[in-house]
């Protein structure tokens, strides 16, 4: 099969040349917005979440942006201006950098409320902190997702997020033992811990592993409530040049290997990205049996 006739993968889904041509025709219709086109992609091509309950509109929007970057089409201008870096600066609503540094150990904080981020101010808080203090900064998370903030009263301690898993990673896939065909079918049952930030003025021993323990006990129910299915396995990728992954080890996550340090577009094996440790956490004892069906 020639390259022109081969399907292309965008946002984890393979699109045939005919489907890409159809999407391009939609982008040329001035009456359709980006959101309209994403909905058409889902409705026309049957792109829905694993349980069939909802269209994967966010994944479709990511796919459209990827197609545009490849020069396959030109999207209509966004009707709402996209967020700019630093947009979420919090002014006079929350003390953003308290002093002095708080060094209380994890057990001395009292009740910690780890809860999903609500729209509005909580979302602004999460975006702002991640943009300023996480080494990867803020980007739109791919696919299905849940963000969390850990609170003590009205004091934020940490931010976490879980979103769509990596499309392929050899050590993870070998450890699970699934075939490529089964992996494509069941990948949505693996969820990625895409961000984890303890706020820089919180230096609390064992807090990170405590929060990981809290989140793994509730994410199954939270994901089920939002997306109508429960994940079976969590994954995360830790930059081995900057972090040792100690909190994941302490929270009983399993190290299964390292990435190759190669991005999706690195077809010449030039390794432009940092090598990352791969950590996994099964949410059910029979996870492997179900993932490999």
Same domain, 284 and 169: yes
Examine the pLDDT at 279 and tell me if it is beyond 90.
yes
Rounded to the nearest 10 degrees, the angle between the axes of helix 17-27 and helix 34-45 is 150
Domain end, chosen from 42, 69, 96, is at: 69
Convert the pLDDT of each residue in 15-34 to its tens digit.
999 999 999 999 999 999 98
- Average the pLDDT over 198-225 and give the result: 95
**DSSP sequence for 167-180:** S--HHHHHHHT--H
Domain assignment of residue 259, yes or no: yes
Longest dimension (CA), the chain: 63
How far apart (Å, rounded) are the C-alpha atoms in residues 136 and 143? 18
Same domain, 225 and 113: yes
Q: What is the CATH number of the domain that holds 217?
A: 3.40.630.30
pLDDT for the residue 148? 98
How far apart (Å, rounded) are the C-alpha atoms in residues 60 and 41? 7
Lookup result for tokens 């009983």: 252
Convert the pLDDT of each residue in 30-89 to its tens digit.
999 988 999 999 999 998 876 676 788 877 887 888 898 889 999 998 765 544 444 445
Rounded to the nearest 10 degrees, the angle between the axes of helix 34-45 and helix 57-69 is 110
Residue 22: burial class (beta carbons within 10 Å; 0-12, 13-18, 19+):
middle
Same domain, 161 and 56: no
Domain assignment of residue 76, yes or no: no
Domain assignment of residue 101, yes or no: no
Domain assignment of residue 81, yes or no: no
Total domains, the chain: 2
pLDDT for the residue 187? 94
pLDDT for the residue 111? 94
Domain assignment of residue 94, yes or no: no
**DSSP sequence for 113-155:** EEEEPPTTHHHHHHHHHHHHHSTT---PPPSS-EEEEEEETTE
Show the domain range for 13: 8-69
How far apart (Å, rounded) are the C-alpha atoms in residues 211 and 161? 12
Examine the pLDDT at 265 and tell me if it is beyond 50.
no
Convert the pLDDT of each residue in 165-194 to its tens digit.
998 899 999 999 999 999 999 999 999 999
Same domain, 64 and 111: no
Same domain, 272 and 130: yes
Same domain, 122 and 26: no
How far apart (Å, rounded) are the C-alpha atoms in residues 166 and 262? 13
Same domain, 187 and 247: yes
Q: Pairing state of beta strands 233-239 and 190-198?
A: parallel
Same domain, 13 and 124: no
Q: Using only the alpha carbons of the chain, give its radius of gyration.
A: 20
pLDDT for the residue 262? 60
Q: 117-126, 148-157, 284-293 — which is least confidently predicted?
A: 117-126
Q: Which residue has the higher pLDDT, 51 or 277?
A: 277
pLDDT for the residue 198? 94
Domain assignment of residue 98, yes or no: no
Examine the pLDDT at 2 and tell me if it is beyond 50.
no
- Average the pLDDT over 140-166 and give the result: 92
pLDDT for the residue 181? 94
Domain assignment of residue 266, yes or no: yes
Convert the pLDDT of each residue in 73-116 to its tens digit.
999 987 655 444 444 454 434 545 555 778 899 889 999 999 99
The whole model's pTM is what?
A: 0.69
- Average the pLDDT over 230-238 and give the result: 96
Q: Which residue has the higher pLDDT, 290 or 203?
A: 290
Same domain, 273 and 133: yes
Domain assignment of residue 78, yes or no: no
Same domain, 152 and 260: yes
Mean of pLDDT over the chain: 86
Same domain, 126 and 174: yes
Same domain, 23 and 138: no
Q: How confident is the model at residue 10 (pLDDT cuts 50, 70, 90)?
A: confident
């Amino acid at each position: 099969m020639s390259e022109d006739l081969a399907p292309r993968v965008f946002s984890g889904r393979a699109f045939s040349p005919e489907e890409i041509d159809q999407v391009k025709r939609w982008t040329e219709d001035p009456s359709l917005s980006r959101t309209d086109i994403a909905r058409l992609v889902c409705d026309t091509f049957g792109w829905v979440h694993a349980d069939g309950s909802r269209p994967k509109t966010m994944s479709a929007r990511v796919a459209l942006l990827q197609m545009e970057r490849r020069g396959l089409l030109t999207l209509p201008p966004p009707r709402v201006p996209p967020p700019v870096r630093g947009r979420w600066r919090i002014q006079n609503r929350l003390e953003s950098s308290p002093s002095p540094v708080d060094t209380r150990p994890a057990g001395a904080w009292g009740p910690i409320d780890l809860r999903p981020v609500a729209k509005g101010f909580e979302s602004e808080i999460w975006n702002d902190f991640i943009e300023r203090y996480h080494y990867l900064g803020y980007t739109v998370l791919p696919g299905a997702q849940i963000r969390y903030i850990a609170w003590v009263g009205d004091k934020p301690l940490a931010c976490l997020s879980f979103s769509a898993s990596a499309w392929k990673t050899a050590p993870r896939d070998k450890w699970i033992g699934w075939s490529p065909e089964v992996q494509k079918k069941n990948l949505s049952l693996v969820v990625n811990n895409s961000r984890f930030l303890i706020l820089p003025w919180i230096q609390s021993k064992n807090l990170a592993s405590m929060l990981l323990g809290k989140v793994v006990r509730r994410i199954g129910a939270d994901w089920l409530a939002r997306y109508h299915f429960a994940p079976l396995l969590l994954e995360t990728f830790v930059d081995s040049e900057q972090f040792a992954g100690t909190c994941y080890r302490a929270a009983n996550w399993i190290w299964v290997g390292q990435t190759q340090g190669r991005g999706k577009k690195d077809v010449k094996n030039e390794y432009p990205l940092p090598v990352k440790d791969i950590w996994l956490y099964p949410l059910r004892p029979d996870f492997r049996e179900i993932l490999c069906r």
